[in-house]
């Protein structure tokens, strides 16, 4: 595994800007140990994961209501974490809405989004969505009487010309990832193999047995489904990476695999319930059409015929929260967690619970108000 090398290309001033602001709450790590090691706590205890999908921090930051949304999203995450006390959290993309973020402020919002998890000492991993490095969208109002708001450059004396830090743009995937990884000991995110860039968040973590720390209970695969600075797609190169990686670490398909990315694949359209939600599908929201990836380039073909692949979890569609079977696999939506982004459906988070002996994967949705619904057994 060479996915987690050091990246020397990063010389931006962003680091200098944000470092003093968050040093008090995180530990800076110059390098991170190789490997992927999530271990359930007590012997035999289940391994519980909370999925935070579509938080959209930093949306409309120049309005009154934009920052209030983020306060609300923080409240949702805190409520879910306190009710469930999960072992792990997955940020399932659209952590921020880069389209509305002035200057290179994106990592500050990213940091706000991960702070409820970090504050509780819970480790996490993240994947990118289509809004995380989207281009800045100029608000039309800025071209009428009040004009374009004055830009306040964040640092008076930086080693940069100031030009880059004062431009209207978000922050690239690699920089967002670098800031998350290097400033957070609890982050298990990875850059992914260089050969797959511009798609960045491609990596695998293993949940280890608490009884035998050398044996894997499950592999968690994370893939970047694109969007923002490049097309919304999982490429054939990513599918090939998955194939080779699985062959390397799970050659006989004896260890179950669970897969996470942001934008639903086209197979979700095929299994989507038409009206309401009926068996075998399980869920509570079926309020819009699936908005799938632009093309299918081989990933689903690989997964659909793998006995060890149990379920895929995506976000992206805020008005959908169902799980439906597709061949040997379950296709699940998370639940819109953030007050940012479209839609006013009540917020919550999908929980995934892996039990070791006998192996099982269960899931349910925990709402902001503490209610639980849509429980489903996804494996065996």
Residue numbers at the binding site for ligand NAG (CB under 6 A): 61, 65, 68-69, 72, 102-103, 105, 108, 152, 156-157, 339
Residue whose CB is less far from ligand NAG, 11 or 159: 159
**What gap in Å lies between CA 223 and CA 335, rounded to an integer?**
19
Task: At 248, list the tokens.
Answer: 């390397």
Residue whose CB is less far from ligand NAG, 68 or 247: 68
Residue whose CB is less far from ligand NAG, 69 or 99: 69
Residue whose CB is less far from ligand NAG, 66 or 256: 66
Residue whose CB is less far from ligand NAG, 313 or 339: 339
**What gap in Å lies between CA 65 and CA 256, rounded to an integer?**
43
For every residue of 22-71, DSSP letters joined together read HTTTS---SS--SS--B--SSTT--EEEEEEB---BTTTTTSSHHHHHHH
Q: How far is the CB of 148 from ligand NAG (least distance, A)?
A: 12
Residue whose CB is less far from ligand NAG, 321 or 353: 321
Q: How far is the CB of 108 from ligand NAG (least distance, A)?
A: 4
Burial of 297 (0-12, 13-18, 19+ CB in 10 A): middle
Phi, psi at 271, each rounded to 5°: -95, -5
Q: How far is the CB of 369 from ligand NAG (least distance, A)?
A: 9
Strand 124-126 to strand 323-326: parallel, antiparallel, or no bridges (unpaired)?
Answer: unpaired
Q: How far is the CB of 329 from ligand NAG (least distance, A)?
A: 35
Q: How far is the CB of 121 from ligand NAG (least distance, A)?
A: 23
Query: Residues in the chain, how many?
Result: 380
β partners of residue 219:
206, 257
**What gap in Å lies between CA 170 and CA 352, rounded to an integer?**
32
Q: How far is the CB of 157 from ligand NAG (least distance, A)?
A: 4
**What gap in Å lies between CA 229 and CA 127, rounded to an integer?**
15
3-state helix, strand, coil in the chain (%, to 5): 25, 20, 55
Q: How far is the CB of 361 from ligand NAG (least distance, A)?
A: 31
CB of 329 closer than 8 Å to CB of 259: no
Q: How far is the CB of 197 from ligand NAG (least distance, A)?
A: 27
Residue whose CB is less far from ligand NAG, 105 or 199: 105
Residue whose CB is less far from ligand NAG, 79 or 379: 79
Q: How far is the CB of 368 from ligand NAG (least distance, A)?
A: 7
Burial of 252 (0-12, 13-18, 19+ CB in 10 A): exposed
Cα of first residue to Cα of last residue in the chain, in angstroms, is 30
Residue whose CB is less far from ligand NAG, 102 or 207: 102
**Strands, sheet with 372-379, edge to edge from the N-terminal-most edge strand:** 124-126, 88-91, 47-52, 348-355, 360-367, 372-379
**What gap in Å lies between CA 306 and CA 291, rounded to an integer?**
25
């Amino acid at each position: 595994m060479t996915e987690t090398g050091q990246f020397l290309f990063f010389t931006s001033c962003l680091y200098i800007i944000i470092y003093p602001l968050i040093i008090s709450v995180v530990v800076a790590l110059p390098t991170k140990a190789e490997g992927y090691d999530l271990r359930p706590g007590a012997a035999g205890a289940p391994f519980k994961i909370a999925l935070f999908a579509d938080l959209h921090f930093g949306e409309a930051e120049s309005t009154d209501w934009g920052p209030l949304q983020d306060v609300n999203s923080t409240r949702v995450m805190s409520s879910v974490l306190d009710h469930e006390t999960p072992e792990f959290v997955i940020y399932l993309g659209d952590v921020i809405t880069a389209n509305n973020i002035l200057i290179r402020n994106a990592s500050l919002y990213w940091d706000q989004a991960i702070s409820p998890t970090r504050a509780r000492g819970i480790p996490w991993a993240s994947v990118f969505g289509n809004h995380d490095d989207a281009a800045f969208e100029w608000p039309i109002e800025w071209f009428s009487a009040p004009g374009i708001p004055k830009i306040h450059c964040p640092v008076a004396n930086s080693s940069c010309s100031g030009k880059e830090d004062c431009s209207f743009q978000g922050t690239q995937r690699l920089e967002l990832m670098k800031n998350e990884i290097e400033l957070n000991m609890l982050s298990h995110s990875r850059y992914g193999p260089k050969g797959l860039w511009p798609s960045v968040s491609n990596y695998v973590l293993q949940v280890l047995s608490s009884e035998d720390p050398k044996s894997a209970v499950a592999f968690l695969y994370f893939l970047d489904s694109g969007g923002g600075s490049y097309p919304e797609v999982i490429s054939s190169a990513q599918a090939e990476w998955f194939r080779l990686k699985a062959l390397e670490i799970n050659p006989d398909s004896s260890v179950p695999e669970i897969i996470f990315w942001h934008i639903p694949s086209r197979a979700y359209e095929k299994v989507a319930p038409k009206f309401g939600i009926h068996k075998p599908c399980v869920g509570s929201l079926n309020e819009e059409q699936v908005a799938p990836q632009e093309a299918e380039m081989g990933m689903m073909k690989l997964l659909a015929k793998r006995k060890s692949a149990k379920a895929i979890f995506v976000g992206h569609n805020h008005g959908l929260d169902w799980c439906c079977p597709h061949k040997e696999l379950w296709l699940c939506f998370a639940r819109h967690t953030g007050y940012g982004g479209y839609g006013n459906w009540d917020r919550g988070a999908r929980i995934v619970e892996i039990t070791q002996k006998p192996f099982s994967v269960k899931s349910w949705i925990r709402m902001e108000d503490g209610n639980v619904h849509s429980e489903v057994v996804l494996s065996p």
